């Protein structure tokens, strides 16, 4: 990455994702892939980000797991190529799963909580997280359907 | 925590939050506070969760920082008491800030990206994150206003 604007962008993306638990190298790789018009090899990533090939490989597989990147076998070879996933809703889908799981956990907690005050709070919070999840789900569906007749 | 249902609930909450970067003790403390009808002291937390007082203190301050818990001075004493924050929208507010920051970062990246394909993708992603943020913000406003005439 010889371009300063590119390096700045990559660091900005990392600065956003690292506080959310994404390891620094994976976060930087995501920024890098966002700027790459074509799928890139681990060798190329290793050179451009100045990291070891094994670090690049671990980071790339983590992004795959988060559904932020996807791997493509290079035609006629076993070399892996990585690119940003078209499914960039992946992170929000994960958040939605969290909201859903929190709503369920809190509702279950409300059923077993001994104290009335804790029970009422857990019920309200379960409803809140469910409301948020439904709103986010509806938004994502509208987004997917945009531009269609 | 002698009650199995309470212990299970605390571990469920921790199981949800830890993968999102919340340290295990802070995540367990959050589950514990959710079940506590009244504000609790660090001594009580220390005994109930079977952790050291300094660990309890670090975890409690972290939850405060996340706006998931708040500290109340005990009347007539310097002992700190902790309780779940009424502002349980805190976590979603943080997520909204992330969505907003991603939209801004991606839009800026689109301005400087060399490759046309990367530029178009970043523009689309910026729009997506902005849409998601606005939907979430609107939902939270409706939630705050619920029950009002």
The pLDDT value given to residue A25: 96
First to last CA, chain A: 42
pLDDT in tens, B33-48: 999 999 999 999 999 9
Neighbours of B50 (CB within 10 A): 8
Shared domain for B11 and B72, answered yes or no, is yes
Shared domain for A8 and A78, answered yes or no, is yes
Which residues of chain B are modeled with pLDDT < 50?
149
**CA torsion through residues A44, A49, A50, A51, sign:** negative
Q: How far is CA B71 from CA A11, B65, B114, in A?
A: 35, 11, 49
The pLDDT value given to residue A74: 62
The pLDDT value given to residue A75: 57
The pLDDT value given to residue A6: 92
Using the predicted structure, report yes or no on whether residue A136 has a pLDDT greater than 90. Answer: no
Contact call for residues B84 and B39 (beta carbons, < 8 A)? no
Contact call for residues A69 and A87 (beta carbons, < 8 A)? no
Provide the phi-psi class of A81: left if phi over 0, else alpha when psi is between -120 and 50, else beta: beta
pLDDT in tens, A90-112: 777 777 888 899 999 999 999 98
The pLDDT value given to residue A112: 87
Dist. CA A25–CA B13, nearest whole Å: 28
- Minimal CA separation from A83 to chain B, in Å: 11
Shared domain for B73 and B31, answered yes or no, is yes
Q: How many CA atoms lie within 13 A of A102 on its CB side?
A: 30
Shared domain for B77 and B8, answered yes or no, is yes
Shared domain for B33 and B99, answered yes or no, is no
Shared domain for A51 and A109, answered yes or no, is no
Residues of chain B found within 8 Å of residue A138, distances taken between Cβ atoms:
135
pLDDT in tens, A28-68: 999 999 999 999 999 999 999 999 999 999 999 999 988 88
Shared domain for A34 and A79, answered yes or no, is yes
Q: How far is CA B137 from CA A144, B67, B132, in A?
A: 20, 17, 9
Shared domain for B68 and B97, answered yes or no, is no
The SS3 assignment for B48 reads helix
Shared domain for A76 and A120, answered yes or no, is no
Shared domain for B66 and B109, answered yes or no, is no
Domain count, chain A: 2
Q: Among residues B136, B55, B53, B32, which one has the least CA distance to residue A115? A: B32
Are residues B20 and A21, on separate chains, in Cβ contact within 8 Å? yes
State the residue for tokens 């700027």.
A35
Q: What is the mean pLDDT of residues A16-23?
A: 83
Q: How far is CA A53 from CA A37, A80, A81, A84, in A?
A: 21, 12, 13, 19
Using the predicted structure, report yes or no on whether residue A146 has a pLDDT greater than 90. Answer: no
The pLDDT value given to residue B47: 96
A101 contacts chain B (CB < 8 A) = yes
Shared domain for A35 and A97, answered yes or no, is no
Domain final residue, candidates A66, A84, A102: A84
Domain around A78:
4-84
pLDDT in tens, A115-133: 888 999 999 999 999 998 9
Domain final residue, candidates B55, B84, B113: B84
Residues of chain B found within 8 Å of residue A101, distances taken between Cβ atoms:
16
The SS3 assignment for A3 reads coil
Contact call for residues A132 and B95 (beta carbons, < 8 A)? no
B130 contacts chain A (CB < 8 A) = no
Are residues A88 and B125, on separate chains, in Cβ contact within 8 Å? yes
> Whole-number mean pLDDT of chain A?
88
The pLDDT value given to residue A79: 80
The pLDDT value given to residue B74: 62
Shared domain for A69 and A136, answered yes or no, is no
Dist. CA B13–CA A113, nearest whole Å: 14
CATH number at residue A72: 1.10.10.10
| Interface contacts (A, B; CB < 8 Å) | 117
Structure tokens at A133: 């999840």
Contact call for residues A30 and A17 (beta carbons, < 8 A)? yes
The pLDDT value given to residue A18: 87
Domain final residue, candidates B84, B107, B126: B84
């Amino acid at each position: 990455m010889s371009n300063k604007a590119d390096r700045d962008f990559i660091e900005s993306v990392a600065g956003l994702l690292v506080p959310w638990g994404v390891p620094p190298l994976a976060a930087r790789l995501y920024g890098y892939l966002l700027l790459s018009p074509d799928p890139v090899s681990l060798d190329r990533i290793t050179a451009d980000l100045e990291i070891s090939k094994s670090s690049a490989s671990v980071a790339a597989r983590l992004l795959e797991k988060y559904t932020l990147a996807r791997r493509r076998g290079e035609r006629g070879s076993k070399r892996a190529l990585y690119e940003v996933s078209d499914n960039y809703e992946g992170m929000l889908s994960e958040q939605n799963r969290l909201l859903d799981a929190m709503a369920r956990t809190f509702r279950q907690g409300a059923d077993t909580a001994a104290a009335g005050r804790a029970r009422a709070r857990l019920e309200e919070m379960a409803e809140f997280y469910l409301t948020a999840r439904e709103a986010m789900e509806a938004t994502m569906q509208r987004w997917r359907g945009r531009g269609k007749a």
